[in-house]
Homo-oligomer: A and B are copies of this chain.
Amino acid sequence: MADGTTASARRPSGQRRADAQRNIDKILDAGLRLYSSRPGVSVAEVAEAAGIGRVTLYGHFPSRTELAKALMDRAFEETEAAWRDVDTTGPAGDTLERVLREQWHLMERNRNLRDNIIGDVSPQWLRARHDPILKRIEDLITRGQDDGAFRTDLPLSWMLTALYSLVHAAADEITAGRLTTEQAPEILVASLRSLYRP
């Protein structure tokens, strides 16, 4: 009896939590869809697309930065899941080129999202958020250095940073209209091949 009363007293607060979570999900779903579709999306547009009032949205995400970080966290969940299935075995040089080509669609899919959040989070935060993926590439570079496929006269950290910079630069060149979606991965592969060669 006492238990029943307690549970019933709790229900409204549990209900509020469930409502809040549903709103958060609506905001992140609509936000990810909208941020990924084109640059220059406003928070008001996200609220409207989510069917949520702006006050409610700001209650969950008080600033554009907090919304941006939550959207990137959600996008990275999918990206990291995709990377878990990536086969990085085989000769390091060929494997790096294959992986860059195969995974380019993730970069292409997240290009507008990145453009929308770039003013809201620090470059350091964004780089750190890439760490799980970069760790896998770092292992691949190390393997290539061990078996003679890649140069060893540059710091490993720099080789990784150069790749990170050039991948994002290639994506930005598509946005700027200076590269096509088809050109970008091939130009990236050709550039890193030259850069990594012993």
Q: Least Cβ distance of A125 to chain B in Å?
A: 10
Whether a CB of chain B sits under 8 angstroms from the CB of A7 is no
Docked pose: A179 CA to B161 CA in angstroms: 11
A-side interface mostly = helix
- Chain A, residues 135-166, CB within 8 Å of chain B (1/0): the string is 00000000000000001011101100110111
Whether a CB of chain B sits under 8 angstroms from the CB of A89 is no
Contact B122 A154 (CB under 8 A): no
In the complex, chain A residues 3-44 whose Cβ is within 8 Å of any chain B Cβ: none
Docked pose: A176 CA to B131 CA in angstroms: 14
Whether a CB of chain B sits under 8 angstroms from the CB of A123 is yes
Whether a CB of chain B sits under 8 angstroms from the CB of A190 is yes
Docked pose: A174 CA to B164 CA in angstroms: 16
Docked pose: A123 CA to B178 CA in angstroms: 15
Can you name the residue of chain B whose Cβ is closest to the Cβ of A178? B157
Whether a CB of chain B sits under 8 angstroms from the CB of A119 is yes
Contact B158 A173 (CB under 8 A): yes
Docked pose: A65 CA to B86 CA in angstroms: 41
22 A/B residue pairs, CB under 8 Å, sorted by A: A118-B122, A118-B123, A119-B119, A119-B120, A124-B176, A151-B194, A154-B187, A154-B190, A154-B191, A155-B179, A155-B187, A157-B173, A158-B170, A158-B187, A161-B169, A161-B173, A162-B166, A164-B169, A165-B165, A165-B169, A166-B166, A194-B197
